[in-house]
Amino acid sequence: MKRATVLTSSAVALLLMAGGATTATALHKDVTVTVDGQASRVGAFGFTVADVLSAQGITLGARDLVYPSLSDSVADGQTITVEYSRPVTLTVDGSPVTFHTTATSLAAALEEINQPGLRSARLSAARSAALPREGLSIEATTAKDVTLIVAGKKKNLSTTAATVEDLLTEQGITRDSDDRVKPGLDAGVTDGLRIVVDRVEVSTLTKKESVPHAVVVRKDASAWKGESSVLTRGKDGTAQRSYLVTTVNGKVESTRKTSEKLLTKPVAEVRTVGTKASASGIGLNLARAAMWDKIARCESGNNWSINTGNGYYGGLQFNLASWRSNGGRDFAAYPHQASRAEQITVANRYYAKAGTSPWTCA
């Protein structure tokens, strides 16, 4: 609306002096002035709307609205309406926009703009808040669809929380210093975001455990190759150990030893192994030959080349597993294919491990 020249108080005074009472009566008007919906009945001297508003101390900005226009004449009993324009800066999900409105409340101002999601958005001020003439800055966060997984349990929800931390607070999700949150608490909430809260527990576990004994092997040139014996029986020790155990959502993620106290020392086992060999490089060991001959008479009728067909072979009736596990293939694929001396050598190897217990006839 076009703004007219304001009639000054000095000009009005000159007119009154020149025209007297008749002029004064003509200039005086009883009007209603409504400013932002607030009506006041006033008496004023003036020809135009601008004169009346000036007399009431009402100043207007370039965007303010006046009806009738400032240059229009004023009639007795007339209503003059003034609506102040207010700047509003609205930042929606981090994107700012500024607009001007003559609305007097935030709710009314938001109705004037076509911004998706504003009806359900969270605002930094109450929707009922009044808009001051100098304007207002508002932060708006629209609803986002997100997935929240807490300790492995999944939940789909819609939220107006601005950050991950705000969302967890909104959902009543408490945390301790060990718990893990991805993405971080300061991360902004975006549509489709996946938020994972892992419950982490760190505890100390103390228990007694076995300490394995060492095995010391000594070469014995007086014993045939393949023959061994135990000089000192080994014995495990015990230790008290403490571990830092980390569990994530109830499952053990890692175990780290933090301390150890030796309670009983382990005793090393000492073994000897024969190195004596025949000219062919494979040692023959005819120790206890008389005993083996006696066992052979019982097992096979002293037939060192017998194959009974029942899975047992030779004079000492080896099965293939025992023959092979004691180095029988140093001499032959099957026990009955080896000589008496070779069968006795393998038997002595087996004897060093188990005595005569494998032979029933012993």
Q: Are residues 131 and 173 in the same domain?
A: no
Coil/strand/helix, residue 327: coil
Domain for residue 3, yes or no? no
Q: Are residues 171 and 216 in the same domain?
A: no
Domain for residue 360, yes or no? no
Identify whether the C-beta of residue 68 lies closer than 8 Å to the C-beta of residue 117. no
Q: Are residues 339 and 285 in the same domain?
A: yes
Question: Which residue type does 240 have?
Answer: Q
In the predicted model, is pLDDT for residue 121 greater than 80?
Answer: yes
Domain for residue 2, yes or no? no
Domain for residue 164, yes or no? yes
**Region 231-238 average pLDDT:** 96
Q: Which of 245, 271, 297 represents a domain boundary (last residue)?
A: 271
Q: Are residues 190 and 220 in the same domain?
A: no
**The CATH number of the domain where 102 resides is what?**
3.10.20
Q: Are residues 22 and 76 in the same domain?
A: yes
In the predicted model, is pLDDT for residue 254 greater than 80?
Answer: yes
Domain for residue 176, yes or no? yes
Domain region containing 148: 144-198
Domain for residue 239, yes or no? yes
**Percent helix, strand and coil across the chain, each rounded to 5?**
20, 40, 40
Cα separation of 98 and 94, whole Å?
A: 13
Between the CA of residue 15 and those of 7, 51, 97, what are the distances in Å? 11, 14, 50
Confidence of residue 279 (pLDDT cuts 50, 70, 90): low
Cα separation of 53 and 133, whole Å?
A: 17
Q: What pLDDT is stored for residue 226 in this prediction?
A: 65
CA nearest 195: which of 154, 142, 140?
Answer: 154
**The CATH number of the domain where 20 resides is what?**
3.10.20.30
How many structural domains compose the chain? 5
Coil/strand/helix, residue 149: strand
Q: What is the pLDDT of residues 180-207, one digit of tens each?
A: 999 999 999 999 999 999 999 999 999 9
Q: Are residues 19 and 75 in the same domain?
A: yes
Coil/strand/helix, residue 278: coil
Consecutive H or E run containing 222: strand 215-224
Q: What is the pLDDT of residues 143-159, one digit of tens each?
A: 999 999 999 999 999 99
Identify whether the C-beta of residue 231 lies closer than 8 Å to the C-beta of residue 272. yes
**The CATH number of the domain where 341 resides is what?**
1.10.530.10
Residue 182: both structure tokens together: 């991805």
Q: What pLDDT is stored for residue 118 in this prediction?
A: 85
Residue keyed to tokens 């009431």:
56
Quick one: DSSP state of residue 51?
Answer: H
